[in-house]
Structure 1
Amino acid sequence: MSARPDRSVEIKTRGELQSMRAAGVVLARAIEAGRAAAVPGSSTADVDAAVAAVIADAGARPNFLGYHGFPATICASVNDEVVHGIPRPDRVLRDGDLLSIDAGCIVDGWHADSAVSLHVGSPPEDEAGAAETDLILAAQVALWAGIAATRAGGRIGDISQAVETAVLRAAHEDGRRYGSVSGYGGHGIGSAMHMDPFVPNQGKRGKGVRIVDGMALAIEPMVTLGKSSTRELDDGWTVVTKDGARAAHVEHTVAVTDEGICVTTALDGGAARLARYDITPISLD
C-alpha cells in the first residue's frame, strides 16, 4: 500500500471505486446528450433537460440539483462565463457560442463530476473563432496533462504543476494569452461531490497532499482567452471573466489505485488520451 494520506481525505475500497466508475459512465453518456442538444436556437434549459433525462433513465441522481440551492442539473456557462452558469429557458444559444457543460451524478451513493467545453454549431470563421478553438484545445491538453501526472505516491502539486505548465506551453505555442483561473479548481470526490483535498490549477511538483491508493480526484482546468481575473454575478453563482474574455472549463473524475488510474468519467477509462503519455488505465468496469 502507498503511504497514508491526509486524515481528511476519504479513501475508497475497490468496490466503491467501481461504483464511482458506474456513475462516471452514466455521466459521460449524459454529457454527450447535452452536447447533442446544444444546437443554435436551443436554450441552456434544453441542454439541462437532455442531461437530466439520461441521468434519470439510468436510475441515477443529479448531484448539482439542490446543491446549496443550485436550481438545475448542469452548470451551463456561455462565452465569458467561466463556471456555475444557471440554465435558463430564455438563454438561447447562437451559432458560434462557446458553451461549457458541467454536470455530476450519483450511483449507489457515489459521485461523478465532469465538464466539457464546445462551440455551439460551428466556431466563428475569423481570428476570434480560431482563438477560441485553440483555447478549448489548450484546456483539454492541460486537463490530460494533469490526469497523466496523477499517481499513487505522488502529490497534489504534481497535478497542479502539470496543468499550469501545459497552459503556459500552449500559450507560447499558440502565440496567445491564456489566463489560468485561480481560486477555483479540482477537488476530492467520493461519497460527496466536493471533498478534500483541493486541487489547484497552479502549484509546484512535490508539494501538497500525498496521493494514495483509494483516492478519487476531480481535475478541472479553467482557462481564459485573456486575463485570469474573475467576478461573481449577482445571482450568487455565475462566475465571469472581468475583462469579458471567453473561457473554457473541462473536467474529469480520476480514481487512483496502486496499480494505476482510471478516468471514471471517460467511456474508455481515458485510454485514448492517456496513450500519448504511455499510460494504460486500469479497468474498474
Structure 2
Amino acid sequence: MIIVKTREEIELLRESALIVSKTLGEVAKAVKPGVTTLELDKIAEECIRDQGAIPGFLGLYDFPNTLCMSPNSQVVHGIPNNTPLAEGDIISIDCGAVKNGFYGDHAYTFAIGEIAPEIEKLLQVTKESLYLGIRELKRGNRVGDVGYAIQKYCEDHGYGVVRELVGHGLGRKMHEDPEMPNYGKRGRGKKFVDGMVVAIEPMINLGTQSIKQHNDGWTITTLDGKASAHFEHDVAIVDGKPELLSTFAYVYDALGITSTEEDEFRQIPFVL
C-alpha cells in the first residue's frame, strides 16, 4: 500500500534526507587512498548522532554498521572493514538516518584518486540516469516510466541494469511501496500522485546485469567481477512535479565540484 505524505510529513522527510546529505559531505572529506571503510563508518555515525538523529541502517534487518560500503565490483550492501581504499578504486557509500520517525536514504559513488576512463564514464552515465528517472516522477506518470528512462539510457551505453535490487517508497519505514525498479515499460505500474516520496537509485554495472550474494548474507557483487556504480536521491511529488529532498551539494562542496544538475528539481536552488 502506498502511503501518501502530507506537506508537513514531506518536510520531516526532507530534514532526515538532508541529515544524510550532510553526513555524506563529511564522509567525502575523508575519502582518499589509505582510509578504511570502518574509519568512514565511524565518521558517519558521529555526524548523524551530532545532528540529533540515529543511523538508519545500523541494526536494520540486523545490518551491523551505519554505512553500506561497496567498492569496485560490489553493487550494494557491502559491510565496512579494515581494508584501506586504494588509488583507482570506486566506492558506493549508502547512508540512512532517522529523525522524528522518518527516514532519509541517500547514496553516492566516489572515485578514489584517478580512476580508469571507462569507470569514470560508468559513474557519469549512472548519475545522469538518476536525473532522467527523477524527471519522470510526476503526477499521472507510472513506475514504469521512471524505470524505462533509466534502463534505456544505461543500456544504450552498453551497461548492465541490475534487476534484483530496486528503489523504494520512503517514510516511517525505510522500505515502503512502491518498488522502483531501474527497468520497465512506459505506462506500466502504479500511478504517481502528489505526496508520494520515493528513493530512486540506479545500480548499473560495467558488464553483465547479473549479480551474486556472498556468504555474509549482505554483500552483492557483479557476477563478472566488473565495476558497478550506484547513486540515490530521495524525491517527493509536490504540485505534480518531482522535488528533491536530498542533495549532493555537500559532497560537491567537499570535492570542489560545481554543478547545477539539481536546480530543475527545486523551487529554489539549494544553497549550503
Q: Does the alignment reach a TM-score above 0.5? A: yes
CA distance in 2, matches of 1:226, 1:257: 36
State the AA in 2 paired with 1:119: A
Aligned to 1:253: 234
Aligned to 2:91: 99
State the AA in 1 paired with 2:117: A
Cα deviation for residue 41 of structure 1 reads: 0.8
Aligned to 2:57: 64
Alignment of 1:111-150 (within 5 A): 111-123=103-115, 129-150=116-137
CA contact (8 A) 1:25 1:267 kept: no
Cα deviation for residue 272 of structure 1 reads: 2.6
Aligned to 1:188: 169
Q: TM-score, normalised by structure 2?
A: 0.92
CA contact (8 A) 2:207 2:226 kept: yes
CA distance in 2, matches of 1:266, 1:66: 25
CA contact (8 A) 1:260 1:281 kept: no
Aligned to 1:226: 207
State the AA in 2 paired with 1:252: H
Aligned to 2:267: 282
Cα deviation for residue 168 of structure 1 reads: 2.4
Aligned to 1:165: 152
Q: TM-score, normalised by structure 1?
A: 0.88
CA contact (8 A) 2:138 2:240 kept: no
State the AA in 2 paired with 1:111: Y
Q: Aligned match of 1:202 in 179, 183, 190?
A: 183
Cα deviation for residue 26 of structure 1 reads: 1.1
CA distance in 1, matches of 2:104, 2:135: 19
How many aligned residue pairs are there? 261
Aligned to 1:154: 141
Q: Aligned Cα RMSD in Å?
A: 1.7
Question: Runs of 4+ in structure 1 displaced over 3 angstroms?
Answer: none
User: Percent same amino acid among aligned pairs?
Assistant: 36
